Structure 1
């Protein structure tokens, strides 16, 4: 499997993964998207809602400048979570851009 991004000390990702067999989305945040996807597909998180499928794939990524920004955007997406919103997130890049601006950390 090819990598998406190289891990960095200052870049964090909010990720939306999708399971075709389960027809579900999952939202999380991490510094290492590749590792996290492997962990979800290998059921590393035994109590996670992703344990029911092993075909998770990256649906959408938002690049964040800090972990606190990633946590805020992750929380926003989890509160707003529905298939239409998540599909629009992928379809309309300006939604991600507005979230990055809305949850920008002070001093950025």
Structure 2
């Protein structure tokens, strides 16, 4: 199982959208500048903004691709404040029902 996530850097006021089979390790890599030439390299204060846990990796990847296309701070905020949007995303990109307790946020 995997995780779809959005992390936020307060110092850069930027978001990063991704998916991972090991979210905790991925978050540590974001925070420790594991990829020094990457998008996230200017900041080490990444914190979880929105997370959907325990979904198939292909579903997490599809949701991440969709959310990245949106490129909208307002959309990210709406994911966090309106759980129905997250439910609709998981239903649209997954044939397996996701339990509402899988959603985490706001942080």
TM-score of the superposed pair, with normalisation by structure 2:
0.84
Match of 1:102 in 2: 92
Deviation, 1:64, is 4.8
| Bigger helix share | 2
Identify which range, 44-53 or 18-27, moves more after superposition: 44-53
SS of 1:63's partner is strand
Q: Give the distance between the partners of 1:67 and 1:36, measured in 2 at CA.
A: 14
SS of 2:18's partner is strand
Deviation, 1:16, is 0.2
Match of 2:44 in 1: 54
TM-score of the superposed pair, with normalisation by structure 1:
0.84
Q: Give the distance between the partners of 2:53 and 2:46, measured in 1 at CA.
A: 19
Match of 1:72 in 2: 62
Number of equivalent positions:
96
Match of 1:30 in 2: 20
Deviation, 1:67, is 0.9
1:70-90 per-position Cα deviation (integer Å, ceiling 9, x unaligned): 110000000012111101110
Unaligned runs of 5+ in 2: 97-107
Q: Give the distance between the partners of 1:19 and 1:65, measured in 2 at CA.
A: 25
Q: CA RMSD in A?
A: 1.1
Match of 1:21 in 2: 11
1:11-56 per-position Cα deviation (integer Å, ceiling 9, x unaligned): 2111100000000000010111111111011111223211110100
Whether the aligned pair in 2 keeps the contact of 1:29 and 1:71 (CA below 8 Å) is: yes
